[in-house]
A and B are shown apart, each in its own frame.
Chain A
Amino acid sequence: MTGKTYIDRQIAWKASAYLLCVTMALIVLVPLYIAVMGGFKSMGQLMTAPLAIPSPCLPEQYGDMLTGKQGVLWQLFGNSLFVACCTVSLALVLCCSAAFALARMHFKIKGLMYGYFLLGLLFPLTVAILPIYIQIRNLKLIDNFLGVILPQVAFQLPAQILLLRGFFRAIPNELEDACTIDGYGPLGFLWHIVMPLSTPILATSAILTLVASWNNFFLPLIAFNDQKLYTLPMGVMYFQGQHASQWNLILAYLTLAMIPAIILFILGQKYIVAGLTGGALKG
Chain B
Amino acid sequence: MQQLAIHHRPMRKPVSTFLLLTVPALVIFTAFIIIPVFQSILFSLYKWNGLGPLNKFRGLNNFSILFKDPVFTKAMIHTLMIVIISLAVELPIALGFALIIGDNKFKGAVFFRTVFFLPYVISEVITGILWQFIYHPQYGLVRSIWLFFAPESTSPAVLANPDTVLWAIMGVIIWKYFGLHMTLYIAGIQDIPLELKEAARIDGANPVQVFSNITLPLLKGVLSVSILFSILGSIQIFDTVWAMGKGDPVNSAETMVTYLYKFGLQRFQLGYGSAVAVIIFLICLVFSIVYLKLIVREEK
B-binding residues in A (CB < 8 A)? 17, 20-21, 24-25, 27-32, 34-35, 38, 46-47, 50-51, 94-95, 97-98, 100-102, 104-107, 113, 116-117, 119-135, 150-151, 153-155, 157-158, 161, 173-174, 176-177, 180-181, 185-187, 189, 211, 214-215, 217-218, 222, 232-234, 236-237, 240, 247, 250-251, 254, 257-258, 261-262, 264-266, 269, 272-273, 276-277, 279-281, 283
Contact = CB atoms under 8 A, between A and B. Distances in A.
Contacts of A181: 6
B238 interface: yes
Contacts of A24: 97, 112, 116
B125 A34 contact: no
Interface string B170-188: 0000010001100110011
Leading 6 A-B pairs by shortest Cβ distance: A131-B36, A277-B187, A154-B32, A131-B39, A128-B36, A233-B125
A123 B222 contact: no
A237 B116 contact: no
Given A105-B12, A107-B15, A280-B187, A29 B225 contact: no
The size bracket of the interface on B is: 35 or more
A250 B106 CA distance: 38
B30 to A, nearest CB: 9
B202 interface: no
A151 B32 CA distance: 6
19 contacts: A20-B97, A31-B141, A95-B25, A107-B18, A116-B26, A128-B36, A129-B260, A157-B25, A157-B29, A177-B8, A233-B239, A236-B126, A237-B129, A250-B133, A254-B129, A280-B187, A280-B222, A281-B188, A283-B295
B88 interface: no
A97 B29 contact: no
A258 B125 CA distance: 11
A97 B24 contact: yes
Contact of A129 (B6, B114, B126, B277): B277
B118 interface: yes
Nearest to A240: B129
B249 interface: no
A265 B119 CA distance: 10
B25 A105 contact: no
Contacts of B114: 266, 269
B265 A233 contact: no
Contacts of B136: 247
B47 to A, nearest CB: 14
B126 A257 contact: yes
Given A21-B100, A250-B133, A281-B187, A214 B11 contact: no
B134 A34 contact: yes
Interface in B130-173: 130-131, 133-134, 136, 138-141, 143-144
Contacts of B8: 173-174, 176-177
Given A34-B133, A106-B10, A186-B17, A280 B188 contact: yes
Nearest to A125: B236
A179 to B, nearest CB: 10
Contacts of B144: 50-51
Given A20-B97, A157-B28, 18 more contacts: A25-B115, A28-B115, A51-B144, A98-B21, A101-B21, A105-B11, A120-B33, A126-B277, A127-B40, A129-B265, A131-B39, A131-B40, A150-B32, A154-B31, A186-B21, A217-B125, A281-B187, A281-B188
A204 to B, nearest CB: 13
A28 B118 contact: yes
A153 B28 contact: yes
Given A127-B277, A129-B277, A177-B6, A264 B115 contact: no
A116 B34 CA distance: 9
A97 B36 contact: no
